Chains A and B, each alone.
With several copies, the nearest count.
Chain A
Amino acid sequence: MINKIVQSMGEAMAGMRDGATILLGGFGSVGQPNQLVDAVIETGARDLVVVANNSGGGHVGLALLMELGRVRRIICSFPRSSTSTVFEELYRAGKIELEIVPQGTLAERMRAAGAGVGAFYTPTSVGTKLAEGKETRVINGREMVLEHALHGDFALVEAWQADRWGNLTYRRSGRNFNPVMATAANVTIVQAQHIVELGTLDPEAIVTPGIFVDRVVHVPYGDPAI
């Protein structure tokens, strides 16, 4: 019997290692797999590359991981917010590397990784400093820039419902980057609010099919902070 549900964060984190690239779901306060990030902290892994939309806020989750000096490089679209002080201090001190990627390009680079597409041409960022040094070509009369697939060693995902095959649903804007990242990593680890019996989820409404999921841990943390 396939059973991707694991009983401990230790099992969920099996194989986590120094230098790993971690895709981290979530957007704003919603869909953040914070308990999985805490578990990454517990593993002691360092020299990490983190791919996320933001650069963390306050002193929890990603911000805490950075504060502990465990993140070598962050790849994100928006490293600035009223509470992203940890990142900003580290960055000014030259203690963390930053790669800025337009939000849609970030999503598409991971979608490409999940879909076996090596690289793609996009009009986004053409003529800007984010395209400097990148290959461009004119396609159908429009200049486009070449962007490469962005793979993860691990994806950390927050889901609403999960079954033992790893099928997932999300809740409203908690969906965000989570389903895309789930496809793009060697090992996809999910924290789910609800574990449901196989067959509970509507086959027409499963957002992430279990084929993309390796481990699921039950984390009924409730609603995101407002």
Chain B
Amino acid sequence: MSAVAEARPWTRPQMAARLASDIPEGWYVNLGIGIPTLVADFVPTEREVIFHSENGVLGMGPAPAKADLDPWLINAGKQHVTLRTGGCFVHHADSFAMIRGGHLDLCVLGAFEVAENGDIANWATSENDTAPAVGGAMDLAAGAKRLWVVMEHSTKDGRSKLVRKCTYPLTAPRAVKRVYTNLAVLEVASEGFVVLDMAAGLSRDELRARTDAELIFPA
């Protein structure tokens, strides 16, 4: 663990910024609750990326200034938001038609675990969670063209959230394409996680030590 201390893990805003830099203009993107929500802050306004919210908002803009707050306009996280010029409103069935129909270029979610085969678990913390809240997570994970996960590399008690096999109930099997953590950016490939990028000062062995899954380093 001490070796990792020398490394400089990315902060949450840095993780969000790193992910945001990979979103090209013109994509339709749904951002989940938590770190994913931060991503929008790092897409420069001149790069037009169209954000979708499950509750029927397409073309969502940033949080309003207090004085401009519209009580009729919230996102799926129940936060007040704005609508960009060119945005529009649809009902829930049409909103999820966009999701399920594969019209979103990207969905970004947080997760409890991501497995090396792309399985994601992000909605229930145990099989015995009696009243788990799924919301739109399963629709998004199954429906978007790409699913990227942004999350801490490890749990608070130090267990890797990148795993060989998920232990928590799945949100969707084989759905994740890419993972952004505080330590690395990883692509899900047929043989395991391919490391695309690492936090400064982190060695391959250190990353392996922190990761409970197969890691592949491109030549």
Q: Do chains A and B touch in the complex (CB under 8 A)?
A: yes
Q: A2-B26, A128-B169, A211-B28 are in contact. Are A173 and B135 (CB under 8 A)?
A: no
Q: A173-B73, A180-B91 are in contact. Are A91 and B97 (CB under 8 A)?
A: no
Over the window 165-189 of chain A, the binary record of Cβ atoms lying under 8 Å from chain B Cβ atoms (1 yes, 0 no) is 1010011111111111001000000
Tell me which of A1, A108, A223 contacts B96 (CB under 8 A).
Answer: A108
In this complex, the interface size class of chain B, counting residues with CB under 8 Å from chain A, is 35 or more
How far, in whole Å, are A136 and B68 apart by their CA atoms in the complex? 48
The reply to whether A1 and B48 contact each other, CB–CB distance below 8 Å, is yes
Over the window 116-157 of chain B, the binary record of Cβ atoms lying under 8 Å from chain A Cβ atoms (1 yes, 0 no) is 000000001001001111111111001100000000000000
Q: Indicate whether A135 reaches chain B with its CB closer than 8 angstroms.
A: no
- A: number of interface residues (CB 8 Å): 72
Measured CB to CB, the closest approach of chain B to A108, in angstroms, equals 6
Measured CB to CB, the closest approach of chain B to A110, in angstroms, equals 7
Over the window 61-78 of chain B, the binary record of Cβ atoms lying under 8 Å from chain A Cβ atoms (1 yes, 0 no) is 000000001111111101
The reply to whether A207 and B91 contact each other, CB–CB distance below 8 Å, is yes
The reply to whether B133 and A163 contact each other, CB–CB distance below 8 Å, is no
- Chain B's closest residue to A179 (CB) is B91
The reply to whether B133 and A126 contact each other, CB–CB distance below 8 Å, is no
**Residue numbers in A under 8 Å from B98 (CB-CB):** 209, 211
How far, in whole Å, are A122 and B151 apart by their CA atoms in the complex? 28
- Chain A's closest residue to B83 (CB) is A203
- Chain B's closest residue to A160 (CB) is B72
Q: A30-B72, A115-B100, A226-B69 are in contact. Are A123 and B143 (CB under 8 A)?
A: yes
Q: A28-B74, A107-B93, A114-B101 are in contact. Are A203 and B136 (CB under 8 A)?
A: no
Over the window 196-218 of chain A, the binary record of Cβ atoms lying under 8 Å from chain B Cβ atoms (1 yes, 0 no) is 00110101101101111000000
Tell me which of A80, A81, A175, A211 contacts B91 (CB under 8 A).
Answer: A175
Interface residues of B in 164-181 (CB under 8 A from A): 169-173
Q: Indicate whether A105 reaches chain B with its CB closer than 8 angstroms.
A: yes
**Residue numbers in A under 8 Å from B73 (CB-CB):** 30, 172-173
How far, in whole Å, are A113 and B103 apart by their CA atoms in the complex? 11
**Residue numbers in A under 8 Å from B92 (CB-CB):** 27, 53, 103-104, 107, 176-177, 180
Q: Indicate whether A130 reaches chain B with its CB closer than 8 angstroms.
A: yes
**Residue numbers in B under 8 Å from A110 (CB-CB):** 93
How far, in whole Å, are A137 and B73 apart by their CA atoms in the complex? 39
Tell me which of B90, B133, B143, B170 contacts A104 (CB under 8 A).
Answer: B143
- Chain B's closest residue to A144 (CB) is B142
Q: A2-B26, A173-B56, A211-B50 are in contact. Are A124 and B88 (CB under 8 A)?
A: no
Q: Indicate whether A117 reaches chain B with its CB closer than 8 angstroms.
A: yes
The reply to whether B85 and A198 contact each other, CB–CB distance below 8 Å, is yes
Q: Indicate whether B197 reaches chain A with its CB closer than 8 angstroms.
A: no
The reply to whether B48 and A102 contact each other, CB–CB distance below 8 Å, is no
Give 22 pairs: A residue, B residue, CB < 8 Å, sorted on A.
Answer: A27-B76, A29-B71, A77-B135, A79-B131, A80-B132, A80-B133, A100-B132, A103-B134, A111-B93, A115-B96, A115-B97, A128-B169, A164-B86, A172-B72, A175-B56, A177-B91, A178-B91, A183-B97, A198-B86, A204-B89, A210-B50, A224-B71
Q: Contact residues of A with B, CB < 8 Å?
A: 1-2, 27-30, 53, 77-81, 87-88, 91-92, 98, 100-105, 107-108, 110-111, 113-117, 122-130, 163-165, 167, 170-180, 183, 198-199, 201, 203-204, 206-207, 209-212, 223-226
